[in-house]
Amino acid sequence: MTEETRWLDADQQRSWRGLVIGMTLLLDRLDADLRQAYDLSLAEYEMLVRLSESDGVLRMAQLASSMGHSRSRVTHTIARMEKAGLVERRTSQTDGRGVDALLTDKGMELLRTAAPLHVTGVRENLVDLCDAGDFAALGRVMNTVADHLVVDSPECDIAR
């Protein structure tokens, strides 16, 4: 079945390009700030956050799903973090089949130290540039996008 392409109009194209370049620059800035100050990538920081919000332990598969990353990507990142002493891996104590990632004291301390820099970067480069209504609308839009796409993502079993 052939359908006619629904091209973006000029305003939609401008908004789309603004979203793409804005997100690219924002994520690059937040990553660079963390790397420069703490030798920590944005992805590593987000993994520390997810672990801290889950009482310091998550199955590797849950960690991958929560971030929308592949399991192999999370495995490689956790391996680097484990070498740095930020996390540990162990066989899941709930069923013995899966692998858990555990936040170490060193990882929690780094998270506590890095969090103010990260939050300041998010505020200065996004939150404080928008009025509250626009920021709330952005959150609703991106949650709708995430909800729509998570169903089709082989890496995310959150909705399943």
Residue 80's CB is within 10 A of a number of other CB atoms, namely 12
In this structure, what are the phi and psi dihedrals at residue 116, rounded to the nearest 5 degrees? -60, -40
pLDDT at site 154: 53
Q: Is residue 89 in some structural domain? A: yes
Confidence of residue 135 (pLDDT cuts 50, 70, 90): very high
Token code pair at residue 35: 């790397």
Domain-embedded: residue 5: no
The answer as to whether 156 is a domain residue is no
Indicate whether 2 belongs to any domain.
no
On whether residue 153 sits in a domain, the answer given is no
pLDDT digits (tens, 9 = 90+) for 59-118: 999 999 899 888 999 999 999 999 999 999 999 888 878 899 999 999 999 999 999 999
Number of domains in the chain: 1
Question: Does residue 139 fall inside a structural domain?
Answer: no
Amino acid 68: pLDDT: 86
> By residue range, what is the domain housing residue 78?
10-129
Q: What CATH number corresponds to the domain at position 88?
A: 1.10.10.10
In a domain, 4, yes or no: no
Would 31 be classed as within a structural domain? yes
Predicted confidence at residue 153, as pLDDT, reads 62
